[in-house]
């Protein structure tokens, strides 16, 4: 039977406690989710500023659809680059401080465009071991193109420097998440930028979880560290997390972005996102820029959570961001804890291998500016009761 090996592998996943399950939401994204006929307090979303359900953004989307229709009709380089796309790209470039930006339908596509386009035969890629799956896949594509690919221990600047110093590659890329999606910690971007300068390397930064949240006015992780929009930096940011809509961008120098436009396969050969999405994102960008009050509430709720979870038997990782991972260890134990919270009306996902290393299954608590003090207190109380 052609499906026999598939059935066997699925059974193996189930036996190891690694089966993933989708849940169908019956309400818009927000701190309260209607799921399976129940109201759940939602700590599973990356909607860090609570903008996914924002009515101003929804109106911009609807008005954009009325004016520009449902779809773009083609790739950006054929006939699918409409005025709202151009306006959004200009707005992102101005907001991030880079000369130019390109937009993509997803962060995965954006990451698949950058590293394989900049690195091929004779080049070298140096990637953090805890990078997101999309960066890993981009690294593998660069390897297929002939690039030498090396991974350095998580945030180990000394190990990275040894790799850079030993490399004779003509073109070098340092590739890292800015905020690591399963640990919530920050990359040492100033040190990485210094190495990029010293070894004449590109610094490719995935700021999916920092954009909109960190730095002045939510400009992201580079702004958080007061780093310049330097020509050697390629900045990727997603627009479906703090921005509340969908899609992604890559910002960089005018030359680098033009090169990506001309050579990036996942940009060239993809139909452009609907122009109404770009209209919604332009409104979102404005709300992010003027969203200091949202960010202040977010960080107050993060501090409340961390203060309240001290002394529990599970290890809360030292994260300063909206991603608050609590390591349980065993897959089944993590699932059992998530199930017990679910039964109490709290949706906190259990994250298991291969997303995280074996033996580090965890709850990934995602905090939002839309959460209230009472919401956080309810989660703390439930975890204390279950400890």
pLDDT digits (tens, 9 = 90+) for 352-385: 998 899 999 999 999 999 999 999 999 999 999 9
Strands (DSSP E) contained in 30-95 are 32-35, 38-42
Cβ–Cβ < 8 Å for 190, 26? no
Q: Which pLDDT value is given to residue 306?
A: 97
User: Within 10 Å of residue 4's Cβ, how many Cβ atoms?
Assistant: 8
Q: What are phi and psi of 114, to 5 degrees?
A: -80, -65
Task: State the Cα–Cα distance between residues 24 and 124, nearest whole angstrom.
Answer: 42
Burial, 58: exposed, middle or buried (Cβ in 10 Å; 0-12, 13-18, 19+)?
A: middle
Per-residue model confidence (pLDDT) at position 18: 83
How are beta strands 201-206 and 233-238 bridged, if at all?
parallel
Pairing outcome for strands 361-366 and 323-329:
antiparallel
The candidate with the shortest Cα–Cα distance to 332, out of 14, 61, 5, is 14
CA-based torsion, 377, 379, 385, 387: positive or negative: negative
Q: Give residues with Cβ within 8 angstroms of 330, minimum separation 6.
A: 359, 361
Which H helix or E strand runs over 282? helix 275-289
Taking the C-alpha atoms of residue 278 and residue 86, their distance in angstroms, rounded to an integer, is: 9
Q: How far apart are CA 69 and CA 36, in angstroms?
A: 33
Average pLDDT, rounded, for the chain: 96
Instruction: Considering only CA atoms, give the Rg of the chain.
Output: 21
Active-site residue numbers?
181, 209, 241
Confidence tier at 16 by pLDDT (50, 70, 90):
confident
pLDDT of residue 375: 98
Q: Which residue has the tokens 């091929």?
A: 120
Report the distance separating Cα 248 and Cα 245, nearest Å: 10
State pLDDT tens for residues 34-61.
998 899 999 999 999 999 999 999 999 9
Which one-letter DSSP state was computed for residue 216? Answer: G
Domain ranges of the chain: 20-49+292-386, 56-289
What is the C-alpha to C-alpha distance for residues 269 and 65, in angstroms, rounded to an integer?
A: 24
CB atoms within 10 A of CB 259: 14
pLDDT of residue 17: 79
Pick the CATH number of 56-289 from 3.40.720.10, 3.40.640.10, 3.90.1150.10, 1.10.287.3610: 3.40.640.10
Mean pLDDT within 212-233: 98
**CATH fold group of domain 20-49+292-386:** 3.90.1150
Per DSSP, 355 falls in state: S
pTM to 2 decimal places: 0.95
């Amino acid at each position: 039977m052609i499906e026999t090996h598939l059935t066997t592998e699925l059974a193996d996943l189930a036996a190891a406690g690694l089966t993933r399950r989708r849940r169908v939401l019956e309400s818009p994204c927000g701190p309260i989710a209607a799921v399976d006929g129940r109201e759940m307090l939602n700590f599973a979303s990356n909607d860090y500023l609570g903008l996914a359900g924002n009515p101003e953004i929804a109106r911009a989307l609807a008005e954009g659809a009325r004016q520009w229709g449902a779809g773009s009709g083609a790739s950006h380089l054929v006939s699918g680059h409409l005025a709202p796309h151009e306006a959004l790209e200009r707005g992102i470039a101005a907001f991030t401080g880079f000369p130019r930006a390109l937009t993509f339908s997803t962060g995965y596509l954006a990451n698949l465009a950058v590293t394989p386009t900049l690195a091929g035969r004779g080049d070298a890629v140096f990637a953090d071991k805890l990078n997101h799956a999309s960066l890993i896949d981009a690294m593998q594509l660069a390897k297929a193109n002939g690039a030498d690919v090396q991974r350095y221990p998580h945030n180990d600047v000394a190990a990275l420097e040894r790799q850079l110093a030993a490399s004779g590659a003509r073109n070098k890329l340092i590739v890292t998440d800015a905020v690591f999606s399963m640990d919530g910690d920050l990359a040492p971007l100033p040190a990485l930028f210094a190495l990029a300068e010293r070894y004449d390397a590109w610094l490719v930064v995935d700021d999916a979880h920092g954009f909109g949240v960190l730095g002045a006015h939510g400009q992201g992780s580079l702004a958080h560290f007061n780093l310049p929009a330097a020509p050697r930096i390629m900045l990727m940011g997603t627009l479906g997390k703090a921005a509340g809509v969908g899609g992604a961008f890559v910002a960089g120098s005018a030359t680098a972005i033009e090169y990506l436009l001309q050579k990036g396969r996942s940009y060239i050969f993809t139909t452009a996102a609907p122009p109404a999405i770009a209209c919604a994102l332009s409104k979102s960008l404005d709300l992010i820029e003027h969203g200091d009050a949202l960010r202040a509430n977010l960080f107050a709720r993060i501090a409340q959570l961390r203060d309240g979870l001290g002394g529990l038997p599970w290890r809360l990782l030292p994260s300063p961001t909206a991603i608050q991972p609590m390591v349980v260890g065993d897959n089944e134990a993590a699932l059992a804890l998530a199930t017990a919270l679910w039964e109490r009306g709290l949706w906190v996902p259990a994250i298991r291998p291969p997303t995280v290393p074996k033996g580090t299954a965890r709850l990934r608590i995602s905090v939002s500016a839309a959460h209230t003090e009472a919401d956080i207190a309810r989660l703390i109380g439930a975890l204390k009761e279950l400890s």
